[in-house]
Amino acid sequence: MKNQHYVCLIDYTGAGDFFLRVARADTCRQYTFVTTVPSVVIKAKQASNVTTHFVSRLSPKGNRTLETFERCKELGLKFLTLKSAEQLARRIFYQCDKIISLHGDVVFLLWNGDSIMGEVARVIKAEGRAKTLFCEIANLPGKLFADSEGVNMRSSLFRTPDKVMQYADVESFDFNAWSEEFTKSKLSPGSGEPPQAKLSQKLSLFNFMDFVIVQLIGYRFFSYQAILNKLKISRLKKAFKKKLSKTPTPAELPKEEFVFFPMQVSSDTQIVLNSNYDNLQALDYLVENFEGPFVIKPHPAEGDIGYIYDYLKKISRNDIYLVFDNTYRLIQQSKEVFVINSTVGFEAMLMNKKVTFIGETLYKSLKPEQIKYYVGAYLVNIDFFSHEPISNSDVQALYQRLE
């Protein structure tokens, strides 16, 4: 830790809030936030150990850019044109090179990292000039995923799942009791909507400020659909399409055993970058390779599900049931769960269900005996969605993933 400088590369509002909580809990370290999110600059003024650099179209840039943008969400989700992406990469390289020349020993912290910032950090790490730590929600209550190489299929854990066995002894962790409590909490009334879905619906003055400034001088880090979601416009549109649709939405589940397909958000980078299937292609695969009936549920954070109604109307099958029930009750009642690469698949594994993954994910590599270590030792005990302070001991546990 001595003389190391911690640089948070932030291209997502929630990531800015998270890394600010980390910095506040860790006053013995100095942090620099390099961000394309204007509101992060304002919020970071609350922390005395944080310096910020806002990257805009007016920021200085160098000559270096990325050789490829294939793994960058900004192009996959059409936030930026290739020309804009190249210009942003030049500006991120410029800031990072400047920070390294000033501080020497640097650690880059990123949220997810399938982005221009993530690729720049990886290039600099490959040159031996910095370390990296990538973070992501674990979709388990109060748990955070962190890895020195990336998240999901880009993590070191994806290639070497045995790595989980190296972490702390979990003999004191009662996995069976934890699993029972996890299942109980997921089946309880009011637990159906994931916290990220609720977060996607919140609109604040900071969101408005970010939108205006980015449109004027910045680099877009959000979809216009996300803005419509926050303004409730998409939900009105979704309700209208549902009303007009001729596709039946059954009030009851099929009486026969069924295969459950929890769909993912269409713009999820897990689908865009880590899978050869989108939701509708996965549904085609499902009906061609599995015995029905099939129960499908749109992701609660999906802005517009009209395309699903259109698809079901076109194929005219009577063994596909579109429902909006509690996801975990549907898992419990199903004979099998089919997913692209959603963490719901892992949650179904915790509920002892047979699961088929057709996209790339680290979960299908985990063996039953490794799951206890993954939950009880590898994941860090930090709640991304909380506003409570993070303990210093949990920050130190987070940085153990640098090793």
Side-chain half-sphere of 212: how many Cα atoms within 13 Å? 7
Question: What's the pLDDT tens digit per position in 34-46?
Answer: 999 999 999 999 8
Q: What is the pLDDT of residue 236?
A: 47
In Å, how far from its chain's centre is CA 364?
18
Residue 219 has pLDDT above 60, yes or no: yes
Sorted by where each starts, the structural domains of the chain and their CATH numbers stand as: 5-158+379-402 (3.40.50), 177-200+232-378 (3.40.50)
Q: How far apart are CA 360 and CA 271, in angstroms?
A: 9
Which of 273, 215, 225, 199 minimizes the C-alpha distance to 17?
199
Q: What is the pLDDT of residue 192?
A: 57
Q: How far apart are CA 253 and CA 250, in angstroms?
A: 7
What does DSSP assign to residue 380? B
Q: What is the pLDDT of residue 291?
A: 86
Helical H segments across 258-320, by residue range: 269-274, 279-289, 306-315
Which of 55, 274, 26, 11 minimizes the C-alpha distance to 153?
274
Q: If pLDDT is split at 50, 70 and 90, which confidence band does 167 have?
A: confident
Residue 118 has pLDDT above 80, yes or no: yes
Mean pLDDT of 384-403: 93
Greatest distance between any 2 Cα atoms in the chain: 66
| Per-residue tokens: 171 | 């003999």
Q: If pLDDT is split at 50, 70 and 90, which confidence band does 365 have?
A: confident
Which of 292, 304, 186 minimizes the C-alpha distance to 238?
304
Residues pairing with 144 in the sheet: 137, 380
* Lowest mean per-residue pLDDT among 4-8, 56-60, 272-276: 272-276
Mean pLDDT of 373-381: 93
Residue 363 has pLDDT above 70, yes or no: yes
- In this structure, the number of other CB atoms found within 10 A of the CB of residue 197 comes to 15
* Lowest mean per-residue pLDDT among 149-158, 205-214, 233-242, 283-292: 233-242
Which single residue is written with the structure tokens 């409730």? 232
- In this structure, the number of other CB atoms found within 10 A of the CB of residue 101 comes to 10
Question: What's the pLDDT tens digit per position in 182-201?
Answer: 988 888 876 656 665 555 55
Which of 296, 339, 341 minimizes the C-alpha distance to 317?
296
